A and B are shown apart, each in its own frame.
Chain A
Amino acid sequence: MPDEDKKRAAHRALVDRVLNGPGQAAEEERARAFANAGLPPPLDVLIGKVATRPAQVTDADIAAARASGYTEDQIFELVVSAAVGQSARLYEAGLAALAEATGEAG
C-alpha cells in the first residue's frame, strides 16, 4: 500500500470509529456534531465553537451542555466528533483542490 494511502486509511479509521463505533451519545447526534448542523441549543453553541472558533470555548459552554442533560462522556464524544468532523472537511477540501490542480480524480 502506498504511504499516502496509509495516512488516509488511518484517517478514515478515525472518522469511522467516531461516527459508527459504540458510544454513549447516539450515532445520529455524533453525526450532527461531526457535521456541525442540526443540534439543539445550547449544544449547538458549544459544537459550533469547536468547529469554527475553538479558542472561544468557555467553562459556561460546557456547563450549559451539562445542564441540558448531557453527561460528561456524551459531551466528550460530541466535542471529539465536532473536531474530527471539521478537520475531515479541511482534509477533503485540500485533497479535492489538489486533484483539480493535477487533473486527476480524487
Chain B
Amino acid sequence: MRLDILNRGYRPGTKVLFTLIRVFSGHPVPDAARLVFYRPGFYGAQAKQFTHEAMRGPSAWSVADRELMAAFVSKVSESAFCVAAHTATAGQAYQDSAKVQAVLTDLESAPVEDGLRATLRMLGQLTREGKVSGGDMREVLSAGVSRQQVQDALAVCAAFNTTGRLADAFGFELLSPEGFEAGAKYLLKRGYR
C-alpha cells in the first residue's frame, strides 16, 4: 500500500495473526482486511461494524443482492480491487457468476428483477453524479422496492463508496483470481466483523 505504516506498522499480535492467516489459508491477507487492523480505534472498528450491518444485518435484500450492489457501485467508481472482490462474493452467493457479469456488463439487459435493476440504476447515478432526485426515488419505489429497502441499499452504497475510495487512494494490491475466490468464501462465512 502507498503508506509504509499500512504495510509494516501493525502491532506484534496483528503481525502474527497475518502470518497465521497466510499459512493456513494459503493466501496473503488482502489489503482490505489489513487496513481495518491499522489503528482500529481510529477507523477499522467502526468501519467494520457499519459495513457488517449494511451487508449482513437484517434486510429484505438477500446477501447476494447486497454483494451485487457492492460490485456494481465499485464498477461505477472504477475501484478495481472492490469490483473483483465483490464480483467473486456475489457470484458465490447467487451460485451464478454469469448473472453478476451480465449486470456489470449491461444492467438494462441483465436477467434481474425490475426492483433490483431500478435500485442499481439509482445507486449508479448517486455514485457517478453525487445526487439523485425525489423523482428518481419514486421510480425505484414504483418498481416495487420498499422505502426500507431503499434505505438498506443506500447503506450498502455508503459503505462501498468509502472502502472503494480507500482501496484506490492507498493502492490495495489486486489478488489472484484464487485469492479473490478465497476472500469471497470468507466474507460469506464470516461477514465483515
Q: Name B129-181 residues within 8 Å CB distance of A.
A: 130-138, 141, 147-148, 150-152, 154-155, 157-159, 161-162, 164-171
CB-based contact A57/B41 at 8 Å: no
Which interface residue of B78, B147, B161 has the most chain A CB atoms within 10 A?
B161
Distance of A8 Cα from B50 Cα, bound (Å): 8
CB distance B42 to A13 under 8 Å? no
Chain B residues with a Cβ closer than 8 Å to the other chain, count: 57
Residue interface bits A28-57, CB-to-B below 8 A is 1, else 0: 000000000000000000100111001101
Residues of B within 8 A of A86 (CB): 161, 165
Q: Is the CB of B49 within 8 A of A10?
A: yes
Prevailing SS type, chain B contact patch: helix
Q: Please, which residues of chain A bring their CB within 8 A of the CB of B132?
A: 93-94, 97
Give the dominant DSSP class at A's interface. Answer: helix
Q: Give the nearest-CB partner of B59 in chain A.
A: A3
- The listed residue (B59, B152, B161, B166) touching A79 by CB distance below 8 A is B166
- Chain B residues with CB under 8 Å of chain A are 2-6, 9, 38-39, 41-43, 46-47, 49-50, 53-54, 57-59, 77-80, 122, 126-127, 130-138, 141, 147-148, 150-152, 154-155, 157-159, 161-162, 164-171
| A contact residues vs B (CB 8 Å cutoff) | 3-4, 6-8, 10-11, 13-14, 17-18, 21-23, 46, 49-51, 54-55, 57, 59, 62, 72-73, 75-77, 79-80, 82-84, 86-91, 93-95, 97-98, 100-102
